[in-house]
Amino acid sequence: MNVTFVILNYKAYMEAEACALSILRTQTYPDIRIVIVDNGSGNESVEKLRQRFSEEKRVHVIASEKNLGFARGNNLGIRYARKQFHPAFIVVANSDILFEQSDYCEQLFAIYRDRPYAVLGGDIVDAGKSQHFNPVARERNYTRNYMRKQVAVSWAKAVVFKFLRVIGWKGTAGGTDGVKPSATREVAGRQVSADSRVAETIEGVLLHGCCLVFSQDFFSEMDGFYDKTFLYAEEEILYYLAGKKGLTMLYSPRVTCVHKEAVTTKTIRKDVCDAKIFYFSHITRSYRVFLKLMKEYER
């Protein structure tokens, strides 16, 4: 039974190459495929990746002529994987993910046998192995009022950073003191430090979107990510729709990977104000899409 990894690349082919190589070098499971989707990079990504993996039959590089965004770009790879390989599981990973666990694929089957899931997220750690990104939230109740507030807050933050850019403010990506903020997770509605691994398996959690595993249970109800967004909030919409459709989202510490964090965005937006404007503008649009989706479901 096949396991296929889908890696989305945008202008960072060296990261996508490193992600694919980490899979090829570590996995002991014999039947794997890798689909690298170039999301309209417009640079030499496609040529470089195809050249690098020209003799590796397990790696397939496909390309979109334009940048489709996160959801539609990944869905392109998911559709290709399902049509070509009929996998038992599809692992959708950002290009800045590294796999070091040799029995990662075997564990996907073992976890499913113990607790069948539609979507699985593992213990995702930063490069220093000190921060743990999953689960993002043990439970979150999305309401239209909550989403209206998210739209207003993110829009206001985009406006603030546009103003700061106009007046020439210079800051640092990690805050005014240059220290990168620690990762957090949400527990009972409160943000707590994510500096320790969650050791228990938990159902019904919000999972980080940088690495997600989809089983055939998921594809009995959905074809991939909700595709009306361009960038950000995809995992939140996935969590919401899974709840509506009765699909199990599961966190398990039995699988792990390394997240080097936001390589693509940092490559494109190096200025702090530009990066913040980019983030808050895009997530505002995504939250508006999310709010519209909620209205459709809750008529």
Q: Grade residue 262 by pLDDT with cuts at 50, 70 and 90.
A: low
- Residue with the bigger pLDDT between 149 and 297: it is 149
At 170, the pLDDT band (50, 70, 90 cuts) reads confident
What is the pLDDT confidence band of residue 298, given thresholds at 50, 70 and 90? Answer: confident
Dihedral of the alpha carbons of 66, 9, 117, 84, in degrees to the nearest 10: 70
Average pLDDT of the chain is: 93
Within-domain flag for 223: yes
Determine, yes or no, domain membership for 21. yes
Residue 169 lies inside a defined structural domain of this protein:
no
Structural domain for 86, as ranges: 3-141+198-260
Task: Evaluate whether 124 touches 208 at the Cβ level (below 8 Å).
Answer: yes
Q: Which residues pair with 137 in a beta bridge?
A: 186, 206
Q: How far is CA 216 from CA 105, 220, 245, in A?
A: 15, 6, 14
Per the domain annotation, does 178 fall within a domain?
no
Residue 225 is assigned to a structural domain of this protein: yes
Determine, yes or no, domain membership for 250.
yes
Q: How far is CA 161 from CA 154, 165, 171, in A?
A: 11, 6, 11
The structural domain count of the chain equals: 1
Any idea which residue has 């070091």 for tokens? 100
pLDDT above 50 (res 177):
no
Examine residue 172 and state whether it is found in any structural domain, yes or no: no
Q: Which residue has the higher pLDDT, 58 or 261?
A: 58
**Is the per-residue pLDDT at 60 higher than 80?**
yes
Upper half-sphere CA count for residue 208 (Cβ side, 13 Å): 28
CATH number, domain containing residue 69: 3.90.550.10
| pLDDT at res. 189 | 82
What percent of the chain clears pLDDT 90, i.e. is strictly above it?
85
d(CA 198, CA 13): 32
* 159/200 Cα distance (integer angstroms): 41
Tell me if 96 is assigned to some domain.
yes
Neighbours of 195 (CB within 10 A): 12
Taking the C-alpha atoms of residue 37 and residue 30, their distance in angstroms, rounded to an integer, is 22
What average pLDDT does this structure show over 251-271?
A: 75
CA 250 – CA 206 distance, rounded (Å): 9
For the whole model, what pTM was predicted?
0.93
pLDDT grade for 269, boundaries at 50, 70 and 90: low
Res 176: pLDDT: 36
